[in-house]
Amino acid sequence: MSIIKVEKLTKIYKSHISKPGVLSTIKSIIKPNYVTVKALKEISFSVTKGEMVAYVGPNGAGKTTTSKILSGILYPTSGRVSVMGYIPWKRENNYLSQITFIMGQKTQLWWDIAPMETFLLNKSIYKISESDFEKTLDELTTLLDVKDLVHIPVRKLSLGERMKMELISSLLHKPKVLFLDEPTIGLDLLSQEAIRKFILEYNKSYNATIILTSHYIKDIEIADRIILLYRGEIIFDGNKEEILERFIKKRLVTVTFNTMPEIAKIPYNIISREGQTIEVEIEHKEISKFISFVFKSFDVKDVKNQDMNLEDAIKEGFKNASLY
């Protein structure tokens, strides 16, 4: 059952352009000058309950725009969206109580007072019971290892510590659908890992649906599914295996023989040869055929598939898209 349904979603931003000078200012009052940016062009996808989707794309692709529309902050220009049966931009309280939207580049915490005060405010906004609050808070602060910091004014926390508080404050009400927009941006490697683990853990234990945007490959790797967005269009939607297959056309296979055969008997593109070992570049779909061929024909000691690299696949995908 799909919990998020997006159909032909389009968002066009209109912005004024203001030129310097009195005359053009007066002109722009009478006849405003607009430029339009097509941030999303009829994108469609759906997400099933409990799925973790990595929403990936180059800067300006429209990822944040999508999250803002899905969380009800922005009105779309056209298209249909339904999340848990609600239309996000109607902003019904029942809907808002079940979602959260975390932006790594912005804080939702009260800057000059302790994170605890924001937690307590959210407790009252989401009508969380005392016992639930205590329990969840304890759980989250333990998982993220920030128990001792909840009473220190937010402005005195480090970026990583603040981000953890951000997560806690946004998850106290145990949302069912999470929009996470670059939650690990600017964090050190250990903090990134802590947050990544935490997100995964949350996804599993609450069966929460998560749309995770990030430019870090390790974040992308934890997702069940990857959607690639390029200039407002979805260029790929599928799991890790599929993305590799789709965008990495050729792979290197290393074969080590017990007795070296004649090279001419191997009708494939041999890149290098060293003693009993050769490296072969091969089309993705031919790999299994190739492997059975060498095993059948020769005395083979070992065959190694080069690891396929997700990052390369994604880059390749963007490069392909830029050609059109």
Partner 1 sequence: MRPYIKIIDNIFKESVEYRLNHILSFIVIALPLIIIYFLWNTIFYGKNLVGGYDKPAIVTYYILAILLQDFVYPGVNYEISRDIREGTLSNYLIKPINYMGVQFSIKTGASIPYSIVAIVITLIFVFFMRSTIVFQINIFLLLLFLLSVILAFILAFLISYSFSLLFFWLERTNSIELLLNAVLPLSMGMILPLSFFPHSLEILLDFLPFKYLLNFPIDIYLAHLKIERVIQGMGIQVIWIIIFFILSLWLWKKGTKKYQAYGG
Ligand X SMILES: Nc1ncnc2c1ncn2[C@@H]1O[C@H](COP(=O)(O)OP(=O)(O)OP(=O)(O)O)[C@@H](O)[C@H]1O
- CB nearer partner 1, residue 40 or residue 280: 40
CB of 212 to partner 1, least distance (A): 15
The entry of partner 1, Mg ion, ligand X, none near residue 61 (CB within 5 to 8 angstroms by kind) is ligand X
- Residue 214 in the binding site for Mg ion (CB under 5 A): no
Residue choice 8, 10, 13, 117 for contact with ligand X (CB under 6 A): 13
Among 17, 37, 270, 271, binds ligand X (CB under 6 A): 37
**Do 202 and 144 contact (CB within 8 A), yes or no?**
no
CA 168: distance to chain centroid? 19
57 binds, among Mg ion, partner 1, ligand X, none (CB under 5 to 8 A by kind): ligand X
62 touches ligand X by CB under 6 A: yes
Binding mask 51-80 for Mg ion (x = CB under 5 A): -------------x----------------
Beta-carbon neighbour count of residue 225 at 10 Å?
Answer: 18
- Give the x-and-dash track for 13-52 against Mg ion (CB under 5 A): ----------------------------------------
Look up residue 9 and give its DSSP letter. Answer: E
Interface region with ligand X, contact rule CB under 6 A, candidates 57-65, 134-142, 195-203, 288-296? 57-65
Tell me the C-alpha distance between 210 and 221, whole Å.
Answer: 14
Q: Which spans in the chain are helix H? A: 22-30, 63-70, 93-96, 115-125, 130-144, 159-171, 189-206, 217-221, 240-247, 287-297, 310-323
**Cα–Cα distance for residue pair 6/83, rounded to 1 Å:** 8
224 CB neighbour count, 10 Å cutoff: 15
Residue 125 or 270: which CB sits closer to partner 1? 125
306 DSSP 8-state letter = P
- CA atoms of 215 and 57, how far apart (whole Å): 8
133 or 236: CB nearest ligand X: 236
Q: Is 104 in the site for ligand X (CB under 6 A)?
A: no
Output 229 or 278, the one with its CB closest to ligand X: 229
131 binds, among Mg ion, ligand X, partner 1, none (CB under 5 to 8 A by kind): none
The residues binding partner 1 (CB under 8 A) are 13, 16, 18, 64, 68, 71-75, 91, 93-94, 96-97, 99-101, 103, 105-106, 108, 110, 112-113, 117-118, 120-122, 124-127, 153, 181
Nearer to ligand X by Cβ, of 198 and 230: the residue is 230
Q: How far is the CB of 235 from ligand X (least distance, A)?
A: 13
* Binding flag, residue 64, ligand X (CB under 6 A): yes
Distance of alpha carbon 121 from alpha carbon 309, whole angstroms: 44
| Helix-strand-coil split of the chain, %, nearest 5 | 40, 30, 30
Buried b (16+ CB within 10 A) or exposed e, 271-295: eeeeeeebbbebeeeebeebbeebe
Q: Which is nearer to ligand X, 65 or 203 (CB)?
A: 65
Q: What does 117 bind: Mg ion, ligand X, partner 1, none (CB cut-off 5 to 8 Å by kind)?
A: partner 1
* Cβ distance to ligand X smaller for residue 11 or 173: 11
In the block, residue with structure tokens 């605890």: 116
Closest CA relative to residue 210, chosen from 101, 104, 108, 107: 101
Sign of the CA dihedral running 240, 182, 51, 84: negative
Residues near ligand X, by CB under 6 A: 13, 15, 37, 39, 57, 59-65
